[in-house]
Chain A
Amino acid sequence: MNSRLPEMLHCLNSTTSENCEMSVLERQRSRLKQQEQLTHHHPPIPYFNGNDHLAYSGFHGDQALSDLVLNGGAMKPDPGVEHDDFRRFMNYGTGTTDFQMSCALPRTVSCPPYVAAASVDSAAGKESCKKRKAHNLKIAAEEKKMKGCAEEESKITEQNSNSKSTTTTISTSANKNNKGPSANAKKASDAPKTDYIHVRARRGQATDSHSLAERVRREKISERMKYLQDLVPGCNKVTGKAGMLDEIINYVQSLQRQVEFLSMKLAAINPRLDFDIENYILKEMFPACPPAMEPDHSHLQFNTSVEEVSGSGLEMVVGPMDATLRRTISAPITVQQSFLDSSSLNQIQQVTWEDELRNLYSMEYQQGRSTPFISQQITGFLEANHVKLEM
Chain B
Amino acid sequence: MKARMQMSSSVVKQEFFKKWIKGMQIYSAFNKEMTIMERKRAIKLSADVAIASTRSATTQWSRAVVADVSTSAAGAARAAAEEILGRKLPERKALATTCSKKIVRRSHQRRSKAAARGVVRSSAAIAKKLVRNRTRVLKRLVPGGKKLDEISLIKETLDYIACLQVQVDVMRHLAAAAESLDHQQISF
Contacts and interface: CB of A to CB of B under 8 A. Distances in A.
Contacts of B178: 266, 269-270, 275-276, 279
B73 interface: no
Interface in A224-282: 224-225, 227-228, 231-232, 240-242, 245-246, 248-249, 251-253, 255-256, 258-260, 262-270, 272-277, 279-280, 282
Contacts of B42: 267, 273
A314 B3 CA distance: 8
A62 to B, nearest CB: 27
Nearest to A268: B36
A125 interface: no
B58 A170 contact: yes
Nearest to B24: A273
* Chain A interface SS verdict (over half): helix
Interface in B138-153: 138, 141-142, 149-152
A252 B173 contact: no
Interface string B1-37: 1111111111011100100010011011000101011
Interface residues of B, number: 78
* Chain B interface SS verdict (over half): helix
Contacts of B34: 272-273
Contacts of A295: 176, 179-180, 183
A95 B38 CA distance: 38
B106 to A, nearest CB: 25
B173 A311 contact: no
A349 interface: yes
A266 B175 contact: yes
Contact of B131 (A241, A274, A283): A241
A274 B156 CA distance: 33
Interface string A343-379: 0001011000000000000000000100010111011
Contact of A267 (B2, B39, B160, B161): B39
B66 interface: no
A144 interface: no
A170 B60 contact: yes
Nearest to B27: A273
B119 interface: no
A179 to B, nearest CB: 11
Nearest to A290: B173
Contacts of A368: 180, 184
A225, A232, A242, A348: most-surrounded residue (chain B CB, <10 A): A242
A293 interface: yes
A172 B154 CA distance: 18
A267 B36 contact: yes
Interface size class of A (residues with CB under 8 A): 35 or more
A233 B44 CA distance: 25
A287 to B, nearest CB: 8
A255 B172 contact: no
B74 interface: no
A311 B154 contact: no
Given A170-B60, A294-B180, A302-B173, A276 B138 contact: no
Contacts of B173: 290-291, 294, 302
Contact of A256 (B39, B164, B182): B164
A270, A289, A312: most-surrounded residue (chain B CB, <10 A): A270
Contacts of B160: 252
Given A94-B1, A95-B4, A378-B188, A221 B150 contact: yes
Contact of B164 (A255, A294, A372): A255
A380 B188 contact: no
A287 B18 CA distance: 12
B92 interface: no
Contacts of A378: 185, 188
Given A273-B43, A294-B180, A298-B176, A314 B6 contact: yes
B175 A170 contact: no
Contact of A265 (B6, B14, B21, B175): B175
8 contacts: A94-B1, A166-B152, A232-B161, A259-B168, A266-B178, A276-B174, A302-B172, A310-B5
Given A103-B151, A348-B6, 6 more contacts: A97-B8, A224-B158, A255-B168, A263-B43, A264-B40, A311-B5
4 smallest CB-CB distances across A and B, nearest first, come from A294-B176, A273-B28, A95-B5, A245-B134
